[in-house]
Structure 1
Amino acid sequence: MKRSYLSVALLLAVLMLNIIATQYMVHQYFYENYTNTIAAAVFNVILFPAALLIYKKGVKINE
């Protein structure tokens, strides 16, 4: 069950986007910009199923 480099790179990109969105969300919450905070949280929630999809596709391709 070898992983392809493309799926690992995509998962790393999603992880980086999650970290950026979380940092942005905390920053916006600190400055009381609640609309931007909710938008960043929604973006973070959308990225999770994308990561699961990438993970599942990467496992199926390499079996």
Structure 2
Amino acid sequence: MKPSTLNFVLLCAILMLNIVCTHFMVQQYFFENYANSLIFGALNIVLFPLALTIYKRDRKLERESK
């Protein structure tokens, strides 16, 4: 696999995890399980810098290959 294809798949997986975590966070908040809601909110916050790092690494590899 080319690096850009692998990074694309990783970014799609992280997006899916963000959607799932957001859904669970809202559901737990609705049922007044605030501790679980905070855990899923923290997972959302952790996943964003991970996705940003993968995106920047992909752009750097693309610039170096030209």
Give the TM-score, by structure 1 length: 0.92
Please list every run of at least 4 consecutive aligned residues from structure 1 whose deviation after the TM superposition is greater than 4 angstroms.
none
SS for the counterpart of 1:4 is helix
2:4 and 2:40 map into 1 onto residues whose CA distance is 30
Are 2:38 and 1:38 aligned?
yes
Structure of higher RCO (CA pairs closer than 8 Å, 6+ residues apart): 1
Aligned pairs, how many?
A: 61
Note the 1:23-34 alignment, pairs <5 A: 23-34=23-34
Note the 1:1-63 alignment, pairs <5 A: 4-63=4-63
Q: Give 1:50 shift.
A: 0.3
Q: Give 1:8 shift.
A: 0.5
Could you say which structure has the larger radius of gyration? 2
% identical aligned pairs = 49
Higher helix share: 2
2:13 and 2:61 map into 1 onto residues whose CA distance is 19
Q: Give 1:34 shift.
A: 0.2
1:19 and 1:35 map into 2 onto residues whose CA distance is 19
